[in-house]
Copies of this chain bind each other. A is one copy, B any other.
Amino acid sequence: MSEIRQLAEKAREAARALALTSTKQRNEALRAMASALVDRQSEIIAANDEDMVAAQANGTAAGLLDRLELNRSRIHAIADAVRDVAALPDPVGQVVAGYTLPNGIELRQVRVPLGVVAIIYEARPNVTGDAAALCVKTGNAVILRGGSLAARSSVAMTRVLSAACASVGLPADSVQTVEDTSHEAATELMTLTGMIDVLIPRGGASLIRSVVENARVPTIETGIGNCHVYVHEKADPDMATRIVVNAKCQRPAVCNAAESLLVDESVHTTVLPQILEALEAQGVTVYGDEKTRALGAISSIEPATEDDWSAEYYELKIACKVVSGLDDAIAHINRYGTGHSEAIVTEDYSAAQRFLNEVDASTVYVNASTRFTDGGEFGLGAEIGISTQKLHARGPMGLAALTSTKWQALGSGQIRE
């Protein structure tokens, strides 16, 4: 049996035991995990150092190196996040629906763990802590498969987290890592039908594509974000500028950052120049259509190509298009958007209503930045990712997204006539 299949077998066994634990036991495990991360931080940092040295030797980009690095304060932050999850209400056991059937059967629909959750992610050691905490909290066994750059960090963290689970009587296999970081191992994980209850890829477009192409187990697509801000003719110009700049610049490398700006033709000569100037002041490169470029508002606007309408830049770049009005804007967004987060800026009631109802995305905003699409911001307490698909969960996924339900039927001898 392959390493991956063995892991999955052990995860299934752990999931069966986890499903029978109490909220109290699982919260205790989370607190033990948080303490262990801090207590054994030297061990984790030493492993991370090896990852960092290898990554630097490979000429890894500074941004990636920054995401890879673990230090004392980051480990404390991860431990704090794990403790925060322990403090959240437990969705498992929640009765979602319940009633008595005409024949007297008492029926109730109860939240239960999914079982085995697999998470494929990139070289971000904090995800290891987050994902493990969210899964154990909800009674799921988790199989983590992080990026190869962070291989040693992941193994070290998982060793600590797994021991912490065992220290309070939960299965050590509640948290496991796939040590083999090859593509083949990831693909095998994606095809373990009947052994993995859900696979959540957290990463860029190429990871998501690979999962869509290869996965045979149920999956949830996350985090693909070509988000738009649409400045309607009835927009407040200053609010529009503030929202566009925030949506693009506040943290450009994340999936809820804006990648495209749409402006109504009727106001593009009046409102767009001030937005472009504000973007330029933030160092944003603008890829504009002809009408945007013809404004000559800022020193340089690159010509937008068809690719720019679909681009997820994840950096200080934005595509800009002048649209004929609301219909044109909605059509453009529904064509090029990825169904993540879309915003209109307008003071017009009917335009706002139409945008909310007609734009097909996980989250639609009126007069607010797309950057709010986040489990923490939405008050979900934690987030395992942002779903851009429509099945099971859509938008920021909190603890409930890591559960399924089960119908329990209490009878007194009923048979069907």
Which A residues are closer than 8 A to B by beta carbons?
Answer: 16, 19-20, 99, 101, 103, 105, 107, 109, 114-115, 193, 197-198, 212-213, 216, 218, 220, 236, 239, 242-243, 245-247, 250, 334, 352, 356-358, 360-369, 371-373, 377-379, 389-392, 394-396, 404-417
Q: 4 tightest CB-CB pairs across the interface, nearest first?
A: A368-B411, A246-B415, A390-B404, A371-B416
**Quick one: given A413-B367, A416-B371, are A378 and B391 in contact (CB under 8 Å)?**
no
Interface of A is mostly: mixed
A-B contact pairs, 22 of them (CB 8 A): A16-B334, A19-B357, A101-B378, A193-B212, A198-B390, A218-B389, A236-B413, A242-B413, A250-B416, A356-B410, A362-B407, A363-B408, A363-B409, A365-B411, A367-B411, A368-B411, A369-B415, A369-B416, A378-B407, A390-B404, A394-B405, A396-B407
Contact residues in B for A413 (Cβ distance below 8 Å): 236, 239, 242-243, 367-368
Give CA–CA (A331, B104) in the complex, Å.
29
Q: Are B115 and A409 in contact (CB under 8 A)?
A: no
Distance A176 CA – B406 CA, assembled complex (angstroms): 33
Question: Which residue of chain B has its CB nearest to the CB of A213?
Answer: B216
- Minimum Cβ distance to chain B for residue A143 (Å): 16
Partner of A250, one of B239, B372, B415: B415
* Min CB–CB distance A223 → chain B (angstroms): 15
| Choice from B197, B377, B395 contacting A416 with Cβ under 8 Å | B377
Enumerate chain B residues within 8 angstroms of A368, measured Cβ to Cβ: 105, 409-415
Nearest chain B residue, comparing its CB with the CB of A220: B391
Known: A236-B413, A246-B415, A415-B242. Contact between A407 and B363, CB under 8 A?
yes
Tell me the bound Cα distance from A193 to B373 in angstroms.
25
- CB contacts (< 8 Å) of A220 on chain B: these are 391
Given A193-B212, A391-B392; A366-B409 close (CB under 8 Å):
yes
